[in-house]
Structure 1
């Protein structure tokens, strides 16, 4: 895959870590793919760098623009900075402050617009038309999808006998890239998508075999909040994804806490949904080699601590 060679030395080859604790709790041999340890704290930098590496000299001179709730924003900002090209990022007004500040820190111009990813994307599209900048889509782009697919190649290299991979799903670019990469080599590997029950457009679209929308997606997994999946990702998901499940907000919160307490791993909501699925749903993976993708670790700690405060018990 060309993306693998483009990204060689540009991104971290993240660890694949066996968890004895979670293996025992789930009856599987369970591994964590630690994309929370990736540059910018999330997998998104892979797709952004692969896309920007393909731009012409004229496109580089005009710069890039994107829309993101945070992780893709940081990925594009870093990739653009390393390539020496200007970048503009449109983020929804509710984007976590930590992600906003990190994006600015990489050198991008940040514009706040709308209340969700789709609102931000419409504004980014207008800027691309007006300024002539290249739009780097967060998930509906073949080069972005191929960049995310390098995660699948690394999993196969590190665990050739993997039986199943669970992947968080927002717009679908991540699971599309991974599923296509691994199933080209091992069609028998089960690839399972996981989404929040309150932001289920990918789940609905996959099960309905047609594009479905959720008008007001909401979840602590802010990186997965899209109204609908991408056109290309949906096509690839229908071809390559074996199953699709939903998890509740309480299950996501519990998985975040469990990862921190039992594995000493800080994962954002989007990064914790796969463990939430493994701990709460009958997936039929007992005795198998299972990889959970921890997609990112960019947690807004103040917001998270506040959300946990009502459940804290103080003893005299």
Structure 2
């Protein structure tokens, strides 16, 4: 890891104390999102399911938690120089809005093919957008160069201790509301949400088995856990646009190794089926990435019969044209 100037920096692996600190920083800023249940979903899985609806979070995704926490943790004199982030959408919106709320300039490096809705929302929050080609250009290198030139702070979407700690507050709230769980299932892109969730689960529900779920086309996390080191893959192609990372983060991988029971994958077809279930039966909009964990449980990829299972619905940012096409499928 570098500090945005090309200089190597030591890893700071967050702990549950950092998640608690994040909870205090974001109190009154992030929504305490509802936990929903469904008898139909319970019957389908043969389990008691508790859905943490981060699709109802500010900017429509859990990313607001980590973004606000990371910016709030920066010293005031440094914050004045602004923040830089790279993201396909949800982290972009989260940094843009969290920066706006705290009076901090924000620049976001986004792929040219990012969903139009997410790009428009990011601009709407006042951020400057710099476009790149995700298949031929290195977003991290672009962002590090900009941070160095501007004296700004680089906040990656998942490989950052304050981001990980902020994301962990979603599972913290879930377990505070439901009590101890037998299992917690979490979407996995770069691993910030999974790592933070695992920290909360280990502290508040020690017997809880934690699972991550990736798109089938991008199982870098699954490969990494099996190999015992971070595995890099080519940019995957999936409708789960928020989980198209090429590797998990170096700050979160040690946490995943120590706390995660396993990582599984689901297909794009299963994601569409799960989106349709939420729209038809629970009357909520969940984006494809947000459906990863639920798809694994509802399709039996992770056996959970008779268990109390927490499921993170990580986001709901899907444009109406795409949503209509998915549901009509």
TM over 0.5: yes
CA distance in 2 between partners of 1:58 and 1:85 (Å) = 11
CA distance in 2 between partners of 1:306 and 1:284 (Å) = 30
1:177-256 equivalences in 2 (<5 Å): 177-256=196-275
Moved more, 68-77 or 113-122: 113-122
1:1-316 equivalences in 2 (<5 Å): 1-115=20-134, 119-306=138-325, 311=329
SS in 2 for 1:211: coil
Alignment match, 1:314:
none
* Superposition TM-score, scaled by structure 1 size: 0.95
Any conservation in 1 of the 2:35–2:50 contact (CA below 8 Å)?
yes
CA distance in 2 between partners of 1:27 and 1:173 (Å) = 29
CA distance in 2 between partners of 1:45 and 1:93 (Å) = 22
How far is the alpha carbon of 1:257 from its aligned partner?
A: 1.1
How far is the alpha carbon of 1:58 from its aligned partner?
A: 2.3
CA distance in 2 between partners of 1:101 and 1:225 (Å) = 20
CA distance in 2 between partners of 1:79 and 1:141 (Å) = 16
CA distance in 2 between partners of 1:6 and 1:56 (Å) = 14
* Superposition TM-score, scaled by structure 2 size: 0.91
Any conservation in 1 of the 2:272–2:326 contact (CA below 8 Å)?
no
CA distance in 2 between partners of 1:47 and 1:116 (Å) = 26
SS in 1 for 2:185: strand
Moved more, 135-144 or 117-126: 117-126
Residue by residue over 1:149-178, the C-alpha shift from the partner in whole angstroms, topping out at 9 and shown as x without a partner, is: 111210111011321111000000000001
1:272–1:195 distance in 2 versus 1, CA, 3 Å: same
SS in 2 for 1:242: strand
Any conservation in 1 of the 2:48–2:306 contact (CA below 8 Å)?
yes
Residue by residue over 1:43-77, the C-alpha shift from the partner in whole angstroms, topping out at 9 and shown as x without a partner, is: 00100111111111221110000000100011101
Any conservation in 1 of the 2:275–2:327 contact (CA below 8 Å)?
no
Number of residue pairs matched? 310
Any conservation in 1 of the 2:45–2:300 contact (CA below 8 Å)?
no
1:193–1:116 distance in 2 versus 1, CA, 3 Å: farther
Stretches of structure 1 that go unaligned for 5 or more consecutive residues are 312-316
SS in 2 for 1:272: helix
CA distance in 2 between partners of 1:23 and 1:130 (Å) = 53
Residue by residue over 1:239-260, the C-alpha shift from the partner in whole angstroms, topping out at 9 and shown as x without a partner, is: 1111110101111111111111
